[in-house]
Amino acid sequence: MDLTTPYAFGKTGDMSCTEAQQKVRDELSKEGFGVLTEIDISKKFAEKLQKEFREYIILGACNPSLAYEAMSAEINIGVMLPCNVVIYTRDDGKTAVVFMDPIQRFYSLGNLDIEEFGIKVNEILERVLEAI
């Protein structure tokens, strides 16, 4: 199932969240990305709100070379980094993998260099998604 929205793109599959998370990490690594942050939303909601929530992980991925390029062109771009990926269990039991859309994220800045950066990152993330 296609999970494309105005701000993200993704797909669903039959693997578990744990398997999907490992696959995402592996494919990101092949493209020079590392995971800087990991937030387990279900654990945080249980801890902070005493509420149950579906399995839901947010990964903050970064490619140091691309981040350097972007920050050299627009120093304040750091507020829009890293690239987030969410992996969660859907109501139907399938696993969703959704990437933020860097084109949409960076388009609003009005900086042509950053727009082109967004296109470049989008192409990489699309390859990662295809490989999952």
Check if CATH label 3.30.310.70 holds for domain 8-131.
yes
Specify the higher pLDDT residue, 116 or 92: 92
CA proximity to 13, closest of 72, 96, 91: 96
Tokens for 50, please give them: 């005493």
Q: Which residue has the tokens 């690594």?
A: 29
Q: Read off the pLDDT of residues 54-113 as tens digits, 9 standing for 90 and up.
A: 999 999 999 999 999 889 988 998 998 999 999 999 999 999 999 999 888 888 777 777
Instruction: Identify the pLDDT of residue 3.
Output: 82
SS3 16: coil
DSSP conformation class of 31:
T
Letter string b/e over residues 75-103, b meaning 16 or more CB atoms within 10 A of that residue's CB: eebeebbbbbbbbbbeeeeebbbbbbbbb
Q: Using pLDDT thresholds of 50, 70 and 90, give the confidence band for residue 114.
A: confident
Distances (CA, A) of 50 to 17, 47, 129: 22, 6, 33
Distances (CA, A) of 65 to 6, 30, 32, 102: 27, 14, 8, 16
User: Is residue 101 left, alpha or beta, with left meaning phi > 0 and alpha meaning psi from -120 to 50?
Assistant: beta
pTM of the model: 0.90
